[in-house]
Structure 1
Amino acid sequence: MIRLSRENLAIDLGPGATIICRGDEGVVLDEPTAAAVQTSTGHILHQGAAVGRLAQALRDRTPSEVAVSYPLATGRVADPLICQAMMRQFLQKCATRRSFFGPQVICTVPSGATVVERAALITALRGAGAAHVGLILRSVAAAIGGGAPVLEATAACTCEIGSTQTDIVATCLGEVLAERRLPIGGDTLDQAIVDAVRTDFNLRIGTSQAATLRIEFGSAFSCEEEAALEIHGSDGITGAPRTSQITTQQLREAIQKPLTEIALGIRELIQPLAPQLAGDLAQQGVLLCGGLALTPGIAAYFSRTVGVPCRTASMPREAAALGAAIVAADSDRWRGILL
């Protein structure tokens, strides 16, 4: 049966992952923002279906004539055609019924995105089948999805830490009081681990191994039980395969600098605010969202460094998509928050 009504979709389109919510169902798609492309033609493999998890699985197993493309590697639409084709597949996966109309979409954008970059995103989503596209700052969407009192007469601060950048925003009565963008994210921490291993052990490892170490064993605060972990790479001088060990303490020390820079960024955003607003934040605290907010001990570490309480959202990685879904469900109420 063909229906005349439109579906509401909320999309958090990030450089590392795309998360889509439908109506009040919660997350209905969570896949890598990736596509496997035939280099000679520029077309996505498997008749356009090699996107998301399938493309990621092919990353280290593709022949030379196939490349895995990350159309938002810098947080912006770097490859509009691949982004459009990838999103067409994602939207089709989320469709629950046949309709004359495409879905109405609310999509997140990072802080600092220019008018041209926002227009490129809207064009890609419309080309993928969306009937109407509204945009919202990822940090604001994360604040809404994390339960911050964005529309209330009290200041709220949210720090959304993604894979390539960190967005910090202070809001009150639905208005953005201040925002700050830092070029620091999960990729920065992974590179810090790669650099530390090369410096301390004269061992070269890849960022994928560094990411695994960070996600599975990284922490911002000291652990009750430290552990030693095997790392595999190539010798920095001979290039021969070699195995070494790194402790969880050494991992923690490797990521301290970028974490400290994020904490200082939060403090620098808060300090210029009016005293009454700063007082609100001293009580409300700072809400931490994004995948990196899952790092053990990060809230305690930021609380100590920033000087105000920090807490992690209940679903930090999905907070921006959930917030965009709340806006999509009641667009009239949130109209003033859209870009």
Structure 2
Amino acid sequence: MIGRTYGVDLGTSVIKIYKKGKGIICNQKNIIALEKNSVLAIGDDAFAMYEKVPGNVRVTYPIKNGVIADIANMEKLFNALLKEISKGGKTRNAEYVIAIPMDITEVEKKAFIDLVDSSRARKVKTVAKPIAAAVGAGLDVCNAKGAMIVDIGASTTEIAIISLGGIVVSKLLPIGGDTFNDAIVAAVKRNYNLLIGKKTASKLKKVLGNITKVADNVYAISEEESSDMAESEESHLTSLSVYGRDVLTGLPQKIIVESSLVVDAMSEGLEVIMEGIKGILERTPPEISSDIIDSGIYIVGGSATIKGIDDLVREHTGLKVNVSENPENVVVNGIGTIIETHDLSKAVCKIVK
């Protein structure tokens, strides 16, 4: 590929952009803040406003359940990010490679293509998201050895069997990190009559959503200080003191949330994912099944960081489980490898414009 080439991983929660020869140049929240039709903030700046804005300001995620639900605002956000990362340079007349989920409609696929084309792209190519994930996980996707990819994102889980550069079988489940956050919000409200924000729920998931082990520490945390907690401290906690609004009195209140409540809240969604994995394995051709027994299952995506997720998959399938380092960046790194490798790009990408 010659000229300026960008790879795009458009997630429900985060948008990542890779530039050929430069690496990842954008890793920001896929969110936009609007007042009427005027853009107030995008990306991480808009996320800082989430759940805190007055009634005349709307903060919204343009992608729902892995597909573009609000194309107009997604275009505003995407092109504003391109302008920001170009620092006065050109992003028009560039080549784009965008990862697209499987198991979605042709109309939904076209929305992804139209989005990057809105930047006046010279050429647009697509790659199946599970293929990009497999490349990012270090797999040789063009050989005959089959592999299983489980991409647990913010609002969806994509499960796929790949072989010879293509998708053998796949399934897109409407379950992801946001599902767990919503379940935690509901569980805290049900058990304590306390309404917490989704950011607080996400922190509870990250710190207390440990599927496999329990310890004995309690830590009081506010939303502002949560980002300052060291990873080493987090790994030993079984309780967090969190703040919210009492639904009966309307007053602020602090409670202690136990790990057991968080894990229980997540259990239903996790079970759906486990059943989805087993369902795909049952549909896998026998010869590829032997490959998966040998290589195991590869778990990627932002929610692959849930503590103990590998043990849970191993328990349900009896197979070896591989969790990539920095699993949230596996797809965009895979796109990067594809656009930096001419033969690989020819093998796995489809030119759509």
TM surpasses 0.5: yes
Alignment partner for residue 193 of structure 1, among 165, 174, 184? 184
Moved more, 18-27 or 151-160: 18-27
Moved more, 239-248 or 103-112: 239-248
SS of 1:317's partner is helix
> Which residue matches 2:55?
64
Question: Over the residues paired in the alignment, what is the CA RMSD in angstroms?
Answer: 2.1
> Which residue matches 2:226?
none
1:119 corresponds to 2:114:
no
1:6 corresponds to 2:17:
no
Q: Deviation per CA, 1:4-41: give whole Å up to 9, x if none.
A: x62111110111010111124332110011122121xx
SS of 1:188's partner is helix
Matches within 5 A, 1:103-182: 103-182=94-173
> Which residue matches 1:272?
283
Assess, with a 3 A threshold, how the Cα gap between structure 1 residues 227 and 220 changes in structure 2: closer, same or farther: closer
1:332 deviates by 4.2
> Which residue matches 2:18?
21
Moved more, 228-237 or 162-171: 228-237
Moved more, 228-237 or 256-265: 228-237
1:204 deviates by 2.7
1:326 deviates by 1.6
SS of 2:63's partner is coil
Alignment partner for residue 311 of structure 2, among 282, 292, 300? 300
Moved more, 313-322 or 244-253: 244-253
SS of 1:293's partner is helix
Unpaired runs of at least 5, structure 1: none
> Which residue matches 2:239?
228
Assess, with a 3 A threshold, how the Cα gap between structure 1 residues 151 and 207 changes in structure 2: closer, same or farther: same
Aligned counterparts of 1:61 and 1:97: Cα–Cα separation in 2: 32
Aligned counterparts of 2:58 and 2:285: Cα–Cα separation in 1: 51
SS of 2:327's partner is coil
> Which residue matches 1:34?
31
1:44 corresponds to 2:44:
no
Assess, with a 3 A threshold, how the Cα gap between structure 1 residues 61 and 245 changes in structure 2: closer, same or farther: closer
Alpha-carbon contact 1:8-1:329 (below 8 Å) kept? no
Aligned counterparts of 1:268 and 1:169: Cα–Cα separation in 2: 11
Alignment partner for residue 205 of structure 1, among 192, 196, 202? 196
Moved more, 54-63 or 190-199: 54-63
Alignment partner for residue 311 of structure 1, among 299, 322, 332? 322
Alpha-carbon contact 1:156-1:281 (below 8 Å) kept? yes
Matches within 5 A, 1:317-336: 317-336=328-347
Alpha-carbon contact 2:131-2:165 (below 8 Å) kept? no
Count of residues in correspondence between the two structures: 329
> Which residue matches 1:256?
267
Moved more, 231-240 or 165-174: 231-240
Alignment partner for residue 84 of structure 2, among 90, 93, 96? 93
**Aligned amino acid, residue 44 of structure 2:** R
1:182 deviates by 0.7
Q: Deviation per CA, 1:175-219: give whole Å up to 9, x if none.
A: 211101111000111112122223333333232211111123322
Alpha-carbon contact 2:131-2:166 (below 8 Å) kept? no
Assess, with a 3 A threshold, how the Cα gap between structure 1 residues 81 and 100 changes in structure 2: closer, same or farther: closer
Moved more, 212-221 or 92-101: 92-101
Alpha-carbon contact 1:141-1:323 (below 8 Å) kept? yes
Q: Deviation per CA, 1:252-306: give whole Å up to 9, x if none.
A: 2221221122122111101222222111101111111000001121111211112
Using the size of structure 2 for normalisation, the TM-score is: 0.86
SS of 1:18's partner is strand
Alpha-carbon contact 1:88-1:129 (below 8 Å) kept? no
SS of 2:42's partner is coil
**Aligned amino acid, residue 241 of structure 1:** P
Alpha-carbon contact 1:271-1:278 (below 8 Å) kept? no
Unpaired runs of at least 5, structure 2: 217-236
1:320 deviates by 0.8
Assess, with a 3 A threshold, how the Cα gap between structure 1 residues 253 and 222 changes in structure 2: closer, same or farther: farther
Aligned counterparts of 1:100 and 1:79: Cα–Cα separation in 2: 22
1:232 deviates by 2.3
Using the size of structure 1 for normalisation, the TM-score is: 0.89
Aligned counterparts of 2:255 and 2:347: Cα–Cα separation in 1: 54
Aligned counterparts of 1:220 and 1:205: Cα–Cα separation in 2: 22
SS of 2:180's partner is helix
Alpha-carbon contact 1:105-1:328 (below 8 Å) kept? no
Aligned counterparts of 2:179 and 2:44: Cα–Cα separation in 1: 23
Assess, with a 3 A threshold, how the Cα gap between structure 1 residues 139 and 61 changes in structure 2: closer, same or farther: same
Moved more, 232-241 or 91-100: 91-100
